[in-house]
Protein backbone atom coordinates (compact mmCIF):
# COMPACT_ATOMS: atom_id res chain seq x y z
CA UNK A 1 0.00 0.00 0.00
CA UNK A 2 2.96 2.34 0.63
CA UNK A 3 4.12 1.65 -2.93
CA UNK A 4 0.66 2.52 -4.28
CA UNK A 5 0.60 5.74 -2.25
CA UNK A 6 4.07 6.70 -3.45
CA UNK A 7 2.99 6.08 -7.06
CA UNK A 8 -0.11 8.25 -6.63
CA UNK A 9 2.06 11.05 -5.20
CA UNK A 10 4.51 10.82 -8.11
CA UNK A 11 1.67 11.05 -10.61
CA UNK A 12 0.18 14.04 -8.77
CA UNK A 13 3.52 15.86 -8.91
CA UNK A 14 3.93 15.15 -12.61
CA UNK A 15 0.43 16.34 -13.44
CA UNK A 16 0.89 19.45 -11.25
CA UNK A 17 3.78 20.42 -13.52
CA UNK A 18 1.73 19.68 -16.64
CA UNK A 19 4.14 16.97 -17.78
CA UNK A 20 3.34 13.78 -19.68
CA UNK A 21 4.89 10.42 -18.85
CA UNK A 22 6.96 10.61 -22.00
CA UNK A 23 8.32 14.04 -21.08
CA UNK A 24 9.46 12.86 -17.64
CA UNK A 25 10.85 9.64 -19.11
CA UNK A 26 12.87 11.68 -21.64
CA UNK A 27 14.27 13.94 -18.89
CA UNK A 28 15.55 11.02 -16.80
CA UNK A 29 16.29 8.64 -19.72
CA UNK A 30 13.86 5.91 -18.59
CA UNK A 31 11.26 3.84 -20.41
CA UNK A 32 7.78 5.44 -20.10
CA UNK A 33 6.36 1.98 -19.35
CA UNK A 34 8.56 1.75 -16.24
CA UNK A 35 7.32 5.14 -15.02
CA UNK A 36 3.74 4.04 -15.61
CA UNK A 37 4.26 0.98 -13.40
CA UNK A 38 5.80 3.16 -10.68
CA UNK A 39 2.81 5.47 -10.73
CA UNK A 40 0.36 2.57 -10.52
CA UNK A 41 2.24 0.96 -7.65
CA UNK A 42 3.00 -2.13 -9.72
CA UNK A 43 6.77 -1.98 -9.43
CA UNK A 44 9.18 -1.02 -6.66
CA UNK A 45 11.62 1.84 -7.10
CA UNK A 46 14.77 2.85 -5.27
CA UNK A 47 14.95 6.11 -3.35
CA UNK A 48 17.48 7.50 -5.84
CA UNK A 49 15.06 6.75 -8.68
CA UNK A 50 12.31 8.57 -6.81
CA UNK A 51 14.66 11.53 -6.33
CA UNK A 52 15.47 11.48 -10.05
CA UNK A 53 11.78 11.44 -10.98
CA UNK A 54 10.88 14.22 -8.53
CA UNK A 55 13.80 16.32 -9.72
CA UNK A 56 12.49 16.06 -13.28
CA UNK A 57 9.13 17.34 -11.96
CA UNK A 58 10.81 20.34 -10.26
CA UNK A 59 9.52 19.24 -6.83
CA UNK A 60 10.27 21.49 -3.81
CA UNK A 61 12.77 19.89 -1.43
CA UNK A 62 10.41 19.41 1.53
CA UNK A 63 7.75 17.80 -0.66
CA UNK A 64 10.36 15.60 -2.37
CA UNK A 65 11.68 14.32 0.96
CA UNK A 66 8.15 13.49 2.11
CA UNK A 67 7.44 11.44 -1.03
CA UNK A 68 10.85 9.73 -0.96
CA UNK A 69 10.05 8.56 2.59
CA UNK A 70 7.14 6.59 1.12
CA UNK A 71 9.50 4.72 -1.18
CA UNK A 72 11.77 3.60 1.65
CA UNK A 73 10.82 0.08 2.82
CA UNK A 74 9.14 0.08 6.25
CA UNK A 75 10.87 -1.56 9.19
CA UNK A 76 7.64 -3.44 9.93
CA UNK A 77 4.04 -3.64 8.78
CA UNK A 78 2.85 -0.74 10.91
CA UNK A 79 3.43 2.75 9.55
CA UNK A 80 2.63 6.14 10.95
CA UNK A 81 1.85 9.53 9.42
CA UNK A 82 2.60 12.21 12.06
CA UNK A 83 0.83 15.56 11.93
CA UNK A 84 3.98 17.76 12.04
CA UNK A 85 2.92 21.42 11.78
CA UNK A 86 -0.02 21.07 9.38
CA UNK A 87 -3.00 18.79 9.81
CA UNK A 88 -3.34 18.06 6.09
CA UNK A 89 -0.09 16.04 5.92
CA UNK A 90 -1.43 12.72 7.30
CA UNK A 91 -4.86 13.30 5.75
CA UNK A 92 -3.22 13.21 2.31
CA UNK A 93 -2.10 9.63 2.98
CA UNK A 94 -5.59 8.67 4.08
CA UNK A 95 -7.17 10.21 0.99
CA UNK A 96 -4.83 8.24 -1.28
CA UNK A 97 -5.65 4.95 0.46
CA UNK A 98 -9.40 5.68 0.46
CA UNK A 99 -9.35 6.35 -3.26
CA UNK A 100 -7.48 3.10 -3.92
CA UNK A 101 -9.87 1.05 -1.79
CA UNK A 102 -12.58 -1.13 -3.32
CA UNK A 103 -14.42 -1.53 -0.02
CA UNK A 104 -14.33 -0.02 3.48
CA UNK A 105 -15.74 -0.93 6.87
CA UNK A 106 -15.75 1.85 9.49
CA UNK A 107 -16.67 1.90 13.17
CA UNK A 108 -16.82 5.01 15.31
CA UNK A 109 -18.00 4.97 18.93
CA UNK A 110 -17.68 8.69 19.66
CA UNK A 111 -18.49 10.78 16.59
CA UNK A 112 -20.11 10.79 13.17
CA UNK A 113 -17.64 9.36 10.59
CA UNK A 114 -15.75 12.07 8.74
CA UNK A 115 -17.04 10.91 5.35
CA UNK A 116 -20.58 11.72 6.53
CA UNK A 117 -20.04 14.88 8.56
CA UNK A 118 -21.73 18.11 7.52
CA UNK A 119 -19.47 21.14 7.44
CA UNK A 120 -21.27 22.76 10.38
CA UNK A 121 -21.00 19.60 12.48
CA UNK A 122 -17.27 19.26 11.74
CA UNK A 123 -16.62 22.91 12.54
CA UNK A 124 -18.51 22.76 15.83
CA UNK A 125 -16.66 19.57 16.77
CA UNK A 126 -13.20 21.03 16.18
CA UNK A 127 -14.03 24.38 17.75
CA UNK A 128 -14.68 22.48 20.99
CA UNK A 129 -11.04 21.34 20.92
CA UNK A 130 -8.87 24.06 22.52
CA UNK A 131 -5.58 22.87 20.99
CA UNK A 132 -6.67 23.52 17.38
CA UNK A 133 -5.88 26.90 15.83
CA UNK A 134 -8.31 28.47 13.39
CA UNK A 135 -5.94 27.67 10.52
CA UNK A 136 -5.82 24.02 11.57
CA UNK A 137 -9.60 23.88 11.83
CA UNK A 138 -10.02 25.37 8.35
CA UNK A 139 -7.45 22.95 6.87
CA UNK A 140 -9.04 19.94 8.52
CA UNK A 141 -12.58 20.83 7.46
CA UNK A 142 -11.51 21.49 3.86
CA UNK A 143 -9.76 18.11 3.74
CA UNK A 144 -12.79 16.41 5.26
CA UNK A 145 -15.25 17.93 2.79
CA UNK A 146 -12.93 17.12 -0.13
CA UNK A 147 -12.71 13.51 1.06
CA UNK A 148 -16.48 13.16 0.81
CA UNK A 149 -16.24 13.39 -2.98
CA UNK A 150 -15.14 9.76 -2.75
CA UNK A 151 -18.75 8.69 -2.16
CA UNK A 152 -19.94 10.72 -5.16
CA UNK A 153 -17.68 9.02 -7.70
CA UNK A 154 -19.15 6.98 -10.53
CA UNK A 155 -17.34 3.93 -9.09
CA UNK A 156 -17.29 4.50 -5.30
CA UNK A 157 -16.07 1.81 -2.90
CA UNK A 158 -18.65 -0.34 -1.14
CA UNK A 159 -18.83 1.14 2.35
CA UNK A 160 -20.29 -0.07 5.65
CA UNK A 161 -20.45 2.45 8.50
CA UNK A 162 -21.21 1.32 12.06
CA UNK A 163 -22.00 4.27 14.32
CA UNK A 164 -22.44 4.01 18.08
CA UNK A 165 -25.68 5.38 19.51
CA UNK A 166 -23.79 7.69 21.86
CA UNK A 167 -22.04 9.36 18.89
CA UNK A 168 -25.45 10.15 17.43
CA UNK A 169 -26.96 11.39 20.69
CA UNK A 170 -24.00 13.51 21.73
CA UNK A 171 -24.94 17.05 20.80
CA UNK A 172 -22.25 18.87 18.84
CA UNK A 173 -23.05 22.56 18.46
CA UNK A 174 -26.75 23.41 18.32
CA UNK A 175 -29.90 21.31 17.90
CA UNK A 176 -30.14 22.71 14.37
CA UNK A 177 -26.67 21.41 13.54
CA UNK A 178 -27.57 17.97 14.90
CA UNK A 179 -30.90 17.91 13.06
CA UNK A 180 -29.15 18.72 9.76
CA UNK A 181 -26.45 16.14 10.50
CA UNK A 182 -28.86 13.29 11.21
CA UNK A 183 -30.95 14.19 8.17
CA UNK A 184 -27.76 14.03 6.09
CA UNK A 185 -27.12 10.51 7.42
CA UNK A 186 -30.66 9.45 6.52
CA UNK A 187 -30.09 10.62 2.94
CA UNK A 188 -26.68 8.93 2.80
CA UNK A 189 -28.24 5.66 3.93
CA UNK A 190 -30.16 5.57 0.66
CA UNK A 191 -27.00 5.41 -1.45
CA UNK A 192 -26.66 1.93 -3.02
CA UNK A 193 -22.97 1.65 -2.15
CA UNK A 194 -23.33 2.94 1.42
CA UNK A 195 -24.59 0.95 4.42
CA UNK A 196 -25.19 2.84 7.69
CA UNK A 197 -25.97 0.82 10.81
CA UNK A 198 -26.51 2.01 14.37
CA UNK A 199 -24.86 0.18 17.28
CA UNK A 200 -27.25 0.48 20.29
CA UNK A 201 -25.80 1.55 23.62
CA UNK A 202 -27.32 -1.48 25.37
CA UNK A 203 -25.93 -4.05 22.92
CA UNK A 204 -22.81 -6.14 23.76
CA UNK A 205 -20.62 -4.18 21.31
CA UNK A 206 -22.28 -0.95 22.42
CA UNK A 207 -21.40 -1.56 26.07
CA UNK A 208 -17.80 -2.40 25.16
CA UNK A 209 -17.47 0.90 23.24
CA UNK A 210 -13.96 -0.01 22.04
CA UNK A 211 -12.20 2.51 19.78
CA UNK A 212 -12.61 3.93 16.25
CA UNK A 213 -11.11 1.98 13.38
CA UNK A 214 -11.63 1.10 9.75
CA UNK A 215 -10.60 -1.62 7.34
CA UNK A 216 -9.88 -0.77 3.72
CA UNK A 217 -9.88 -3.57 1.15
CA UNK A 218 -7.97 -3.30 -2.12
CA UNK A 219 -7.83 -5.14 -5.42
CA UNK A 220 -5.13 -7.78 -5.62
CA UNK A 221 -2.30 -7.73 -4.82
CA UNK A 222 -2.95 -5.10 -2.17
CA UNK A 223 -5.43 -7.03 0.00
CA UNK A 224 -6.48 -5.17 3.16
CA UNK A 225 -5.29 -2.53 5.60
CA UNK A 226 -6.51 -1.44 9.04
CA UNK A 227 -6.45 2.24 9.95
CA UNK A 228 -6.77 4.13 13.23
CA UNK A 229 -6.32 7.72 14.39
CA UNK A 230 -4.57 8.82 17.56
CA UNK A 231 -4.10 12.31 18.94
CA UNK A 232 -0.99 13.21 16.94
CA UNK A 233 -0.80 10.75 14.05
CA UNK A 234 -2.55 8.31 11.73
CA UNK A 235 -1.71 4.61 12.02
CA UNK A 236 -1.80 2.32 8.96
CA UNK A 237 -1.57 -1.44 9.65
CA UNK A 238 -0.72 -4.02 6.97
CA UNK A 239 0.33 -6.91 9.22
CA UNK A 240 -2.13 -9.67 8.26
CA UNK A 241 -2.67 -11.16 11.77
CA UNK A 242 -3.31 -7.65 13.12
CA UNK A 243 -5.76 -6.91 10.30
CA UNK A 244 -7.55 -10.20 11.02
CA UNK A 245 -8.07 -9.06 14.62
CA UNK A 246 -9.90 -6.01 13.28
CA UNK A 247 -12.11 -8.28 11.17
CA UNK A 248 -13.03 -10.09 14.40
CA UNK A 249 -14.06 -6.74 15.90
CA UNK A 250 -16.19 -6.05 12.82
CA UNK A 251 -18.00 -9.35 13.34
CA UNK A 252 -18.78 -8.44 16.96
CA UNK A 253 -20.03 -4.98 16.00
CA UNK A 254 -22.09 -6.36 13.09
CA UNK A 255 -23.84 -8.84 15.38
CA UNK A 256 -24.86 -6.04 17.75
CA UNK A 257 -25.87 -3.44 15.16
CA UNK A 258 -29.40 -2.73 13.97
CA UNK A 259 -30.19 -3.75 10.41
CA UNK A 260 -29.98 -1.12 7.66
CA UNK A 261 -33.76 -0.66 7.67
CA UNK A 262 -33.98 -0.50 11.46
CA UNK A 263 -31.10 1.98 11.52
CA UNK A 264 -32.78 4.23 8.96
CA UNK A 265 -36.02 4.26 11.00
CA UNK A 266 -34.03 4.90 14.20
CA UNK A 267 -32.24 7.87 12.58
CA UNK A 268 -35.55 9.33 11.37
CA UNK A 269 -36.91 9.20 14.93
CA UNK A 270 -33.74 10.80 16.27
CA UNK A 271 -33.99 13.59 13.68
CA UNK A 272 -37.55 14.23 14.92
CA UNK A 273 -36.20 14.55 18.48
CA UNK A 274 -33.64 17.15 17.40
CA UNK A 275 -36.28 18.97 15.38
CA UNK A 276 -38.47 19.32 18.50
CA UNK A 277 -35.45 20.66 20.40
CA UNK A 278 -35.16 23.48 17.85
CA UNK A 279 -38.63 24.77 18.70
Residues forming CATH 3.30.870 domain(s) in the chain: 78-278
Measured CA to CA, the distance from residue 244 to residue 53 in angstroms comes to 36
Measured CA to CA, the distance from residue 104 to residue 89 in angstroms comes to 22
Per-residue pLDDT at 85: 46
Contact of 193 with 157, CB cutoff 8 Å: yes
Splitting the chain (279 residues) into consecutive groups of 10 residues, what average pLDDT does each group show? 80 90 86 87 80 83 77 57 49 78 91 92 85 80 85 90 93 92 93 93 73 85 76 72 85 91 95 86
SS3 194: strand
- May I ask the CATH class of domain 78-278? alpha beta
Q: How far is CA 173 from the centre of its chain?
A: 24
Per-residue pLDDT at 222: 57
Residues forming CATH 1.10.260.40 domain(s) in the chain: 2-71
Q: Which CATH superfamily is domain 2-71 in?
A: lambda repressor-like DNA-binding domains (1.10.260.40)
Per-residue pLDDT at 67: 80
Measured CA to CA, the distance from residue 153 to residue 151 in angstroms comes to 6
SS3 234: strand
Per-residue pLDDT at 169: 93
- Between 21-28 and 32-39, two packed helices, what is the crossing angle to 10 degrees? 120
Per-residue pLDDT at 160: 96
Per-residue pLDDT at 229: 72
Amino acid sequence: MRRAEAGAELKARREAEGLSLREVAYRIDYNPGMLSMWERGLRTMDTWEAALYLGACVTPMREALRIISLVQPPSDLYWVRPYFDRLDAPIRSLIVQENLAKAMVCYDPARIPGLHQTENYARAMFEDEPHYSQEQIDLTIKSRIDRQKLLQRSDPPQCAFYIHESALRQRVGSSQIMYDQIQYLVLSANLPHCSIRVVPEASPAGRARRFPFRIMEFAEPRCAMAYAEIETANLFIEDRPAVESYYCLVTQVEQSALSEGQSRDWLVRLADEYERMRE
